Structure 1
Amino acid sequence: MSSEKKRGAYIRPDIESLPAYVPGARPPAGVTMTKLSSNENPAEPAPAVVETIHRVAEQINRYPDMNVTDLTETVAAHYGVEPANVALGNGSVALLSHALTALAIMGDEVVYPWRSFEAYPIIAQAAGATSVRIPLLEDFSHDLDAMAAAVTDKTRAVIVCNPNNPTGNVIDRDTLMAFIDKVPPTVAVFVDEAYQEYVADARYAFDLADLPRYPNVLVFRTFSKAYGLAGLRVGYCFGDARLISAVRTTSTPFGVNAIAQAAAMTALAEQDVMTSQVEEANAERERVVAKLRADGWDIPQTVANFFYLPIGEDAAQLAADGVAEGVLIRGYPGDGVRVTVGNRAENDRLVEFLGGYAPNSSTRR
C-alpha cells in the first residue's frame, strides 16, 4: 500500500494548527460541584419556556423551519427592525463563523482585541483568514486606536466584543461609533454583544436605529446568556440586508432546531423573567466583587455576568485548585481567571474558596 493511501484524505495544512476551543470545565460524572466556568445563567428557565419545550418535543420527528421564519419575525418586531435585517443561527458564534466564511478568503485578515472571546482565532483561521490580535490596554479595555490603525487592504473584518469576554468591561456608544467611523466602509465591523442584557445603561449598546447608516456593521446577540437557553443554542444578528443575506447563505441548513426556535420565541415574550434574573445577577456581581476587592483582589470594572482576576502566571494553578475543591472557574494560563456570577449559594462558596488566596488574607496559601 502506498504512503498516500496510508495517510488518507487530504486535510488543509493549517487545520492542524487550528487552536481548539476550550470550554468551561464540567463536573465529573456523579460529582456535585460549583460550576462558575461557562458564563451560564444559574436560574431555571421560565415555566412557560419549559412548557413550550415539552409541547414541541412531541413533534421532533418533523424538520424545523429552515428559514426560522416565525422567530426571525418575532425578533425583528421586538427590536424594531425588518426581518430582512435579522439572521438566526446555532448560537452567535456560529453566526460569527458564517459571516467570516462569507467575507474572507485565504490571506485576508481579521482584527480583534486580545484577550477576548476564544472563538475569534478559531473562526478566523477556519475561514482561511489571518488573525491580527491587538492587546488590551492596561485597564483591560479595547485599544480602539490601535485596532483602527491595524486595518489594511487585507482586512475583511474587525471584531469588537462589548462587553468584552473575559474581562467584562464595556465601550460606550459614542466611543464605539467614533471607532466604526474610522473603519473603511468596505471592511465589516462585527459588534459582539452576547452579554448586552446585563448592561444596565442602554448608552453602552449599539443603537439598531443606526443600522441603515452602517451597511458594513453586524451586531451579534444570543439567547444563551440572559435568556438562559445555553443548552439549546440560539443566536441572532442584525445588519444590512445584503450582509444578512450572505450570512444566511453560508449558514448550515436547519441549523436552528425546532425546540430552540419555539423556546426562544417564548423566552423573548417572558421579558419580566429575563429582566428579574438579570437584576439578580447584577446585584450578586456587585456584592461578590465588592467583597473580593475588600480582600485585596484586583478586579477590573465589569458590567457582565462574570468578572476577571488578572493574576498572570498563577491563573492555571488557581483554576486547578478550584477543581480540586469543587469550584469550577475558567483559567487562561499566563493571563488570568474568569469567574461566572452564580446564585447566592454558589457565590458564597466561591468567596470562601478564594479567601484562601486573597492578597489580604492572613492564611493565604
Structure 2
Amino acid sequence: MADAGNVTALFRASTAHSPSYSALNRAAADSGQPLVDFCIPCNPYFPTPEMYEELGGRLRDILTYYPSGADTIAAELSAVLGLNPQTVVMGNGSTELITWIDHLLVRDALAVPVPTFGRWTDQSMETGKRVDMYLLPEADGFVLDPSAYVDFVRARGSRTAVICNPNNPDGGLLPRRSVLALLDALQDLDLVVVDESFLEFADAGPESSVSDEAVLRPNVIVLRSLGKNFGLHGVRFGYLVANPGLAGRVRAALPKWNLNSFAETVVFMLKQHRHAYDLSLRQVRRDRQEMIWHLGRLPGLTSYPSQGNFVYVRLPDGVDGAVLRDRLLAEHGILVRECGNKIGSSSRFLRLVVRPPVDVEHLVIGLEQTLYATGDAGLLPVPYGTGHPAVDRLVMRA
C-alpha cells in the first residue's frame, strides 16, 4: 500500500483546483506505486506515440529557439479549423484568455451557473467584481434551464454572463438551438461567453458549437481549449473566437510571444495527424458510455449524463468524498477529484475522468473494496445493497 500522506496534504491545501500532476508525482515519489489518474481530464489517446517520438526528435530546437509570434501560430490553427484568423485569438491556456476577458471586458458583475470551472468564479472575485452565481439544481441533474438563467441574469442586473458547454464538472450539454436562444435573449449585455473547452468530446462534436454565430454577434465570445482536447495540458494553449473587433481588443492586450515553441510545433503538426485526433475523440466517447454503465452498477452511486471526458458522480449516503479519495489513493493508487472545494458542489461528489477500460476496471474494483467491504474496512454499513453482484463478490471474499 502506498503512503499517500504527502499527496493527501496537497489536496487539502488546494482551493478550487486540483494540485498539479508534477506536484502529485513528487509527493508520491517514495511510494513506489504509479498513480492511475482519474483526476486530470486528459485525452488518453492523443497525441499518438508517433507524435511523441516526433516531438522528442525536435526537442533540442523547441527548447533552444524562440517561437514565432502568436499571429503566425493562430493563422495556422485557423487554416486547420477553417476559421478567419481575424476572429481567432490564441492564449497561453484558456485561463490566460479568461484573465484578459475579465480585465478588458467585464465591468461590475459576472453571472455564471455553479458548480462550474473555478476560474469563472475566482477570476472576477480576485479583481473585486461581483460574481452572481446561479445554482444548478441537483434535483434536476444539474441541467441548466436557459430561461431560468436569463431571468436570474435580469434579476441580478449582471452585464456579463457565462455558460460552460459542456459544463465542468457534470458534463451537461445544452443543444445548439438552446444556446442560440440564450444568446438572443441576452444580446443587450456587454458580453456573453460560451466556454466550449470540452465540446470536442461531445457526441455531436463541433456541430454543437456556436463559434460560427460568435463572429456575427457584437457581444459573444466562444472559448476553446486545445490542451484538454489534445491531451497536452502542459503545453498551455487555447483560443477564443469572436467578431474581429472584439477579438482585436483581446489580441492587442496580449504579449507578442505569449505562446511557446511546443504550442507552435503541435499546431503545425495537426494537419497530418487530424485523422488520428478524430479517432481519439471517438474512442473517448465510447469509453465514456462504458464507464457510465459500469459506475451505474455500483449500489447507491449516481452517475450523471455527461458529454465531457469526465463523469460526475454522487456518492452513496454517508460517504465522505475526501475520505474515499484518500483511501483510494493509499490502498489502490487511484487518484480522483473530490469536489468539496467546488462552489455549488460538496464532498459527496467526485468528478472522474474517462479512461481506457483497463483503468476503469481498476477503479470499479477499488470503489467496491473501499465502499462495500465487510467489517470495518468498508465506508458503508453492512449489509448494503444485498443481492447486488458487487456486494456479493466482496461478501464471498470475506
**Equivalenced residues, count:** 345
SS of the residue corresponding to residue 267 of structure 1 reads helix
Tell whether the 8 Å contact from 2:35 to 2:335 is kept in structure 1 after alignment.
yes
1:310 is the counterpart of 2:314: yes
Q: Which amino acid aligns with 2:330?
A: A
Identity of aligned residues (%): 23
Counterparts in 2 of 1:20 and 1:207: CA distance versus 1, 3 Å: closer
1:173 is the counterpart of 2:176: yes
CA–CA separation in structure 2 for the residues paired with 1:129 and 1:314: 33
Which residue is 1:341 aligned to? 354
Residue number among 7, 17, 21 corresponding to 2:17 in the alignment: 21
Q: Deviations over 1:183-203 (max 9, x none)?
A: 143321111111111112148
CA–CA separation in structure 1 for the residues paired with 2:272 and 2:72: 13
1:206 is the counterpart of 2:202: no
Which residue is 1:120 aligned to? 120
Q: TM-score, normalised by structure 2?
A: 0.79
Which residue is 1:85 aligned to? 87
Residue number among 309, 319, 337 corresponding to 1:330 in the alignment: 337
SS of the residue corresponding to residue 100 of structure 1 reads helix
Q: Deviations over 1:162-181 (max 9, x none)?
A: 11111012110011111111
Listed as ranges, the gaps of 5+ residues in structure 1 are 1-17
SS of the residue corresponding to residue 77 of structure 1 reads helix
Which residue is 2:8 aligned to? none
Q: TM-score, normalised by structure 1?
A: 0.86
Counterparts in 2 of 1:156 and 1:65: CA distance versus 1, 3 Å: farther
CA–CA separation in structure 2 for the residues paired with 1:126 and 1:253: 26
CA–CA separation in structure 2 for the residues paired with 1:282 and 1:352: 22
Q: Deviations over 1:13-42 (max 9, x none)?
A: xxxxx9653346634125411111011122
Which residue is 1:8 aligned to? none
Deviation at 1:265? Answer: 2.6
Alignment map for 1:1-365 (pairs within 5 Å)? 21-23=17-19, 26-27=24-25, 28-29=28-29, 31-43=33-45, 45-46=47-48, 47-48=50-51, 50-52=53-55, 54-55=57-58, 57-58=60-61, 60-66=63-69, 68-105=70-107, 108-137=108-137, 138-151=140-153, 155-202=158-205, 205-267=208-270, 269-296=272-299, 297-311=301-315, 314-325=320-331, 326-333=333-340, 334=346, 335-356=348-369, 357=371, 360=388, 361-362=390-391, 363=394
CA–CA separation in structure 2 for the residues paired with 1:136 and 1:59: 44
The alignment yields a C-alpha RMSD, in angstroms, of 2.6
Deviation at 1:204? Answer: 5.9
Tell whether the 8 Å contact from 2:104 to 2:250 is kept in structure 1 after alignment.
yes
Listed as ranges, the gaps of 5+ residues in structure 2 are 1-13, 341-345, 373-384
CA–CA separation in structure 1 for the residues paired with 2:224 and 2:52: 19
CA–CA separation in structure 1 for the residues paired with 2:208 and 2:20: 26
Deviation at 1:154? Answer: 5.5
Tell whether the 8 Å contact from 1:49 to 1:266 is kept in structure 2 after alignment.
no
Q: Which amino acid aligns with 1:119?
A: R
Counterparts in 2 of 1:282 and 1:124: CA distance versus 1, 3 Å: same
Which moves more between the two structures, 343-352 or 251-260? 251-260
Counterparts in 2 of 1:256 and 1:298: CA distance versus 1, 3 Å: same
Tell whether the 8 Å contact from 2:171 to 2:308 is kept in structure 1 after alignment.
yes
SS of the residue corresponding to residue 194 of structure 1 reads coil
Counterparts in 2 of 1:83 and 1:44: CA distance versus 1, 3 Å: closer
CA–CA separation in structure 1 for the residues paired with 2:248 and 2:126: 21
Tell whether the 8 Å contact from 2:196 to 2:223 is kept in structure 1 after alignment.
yes
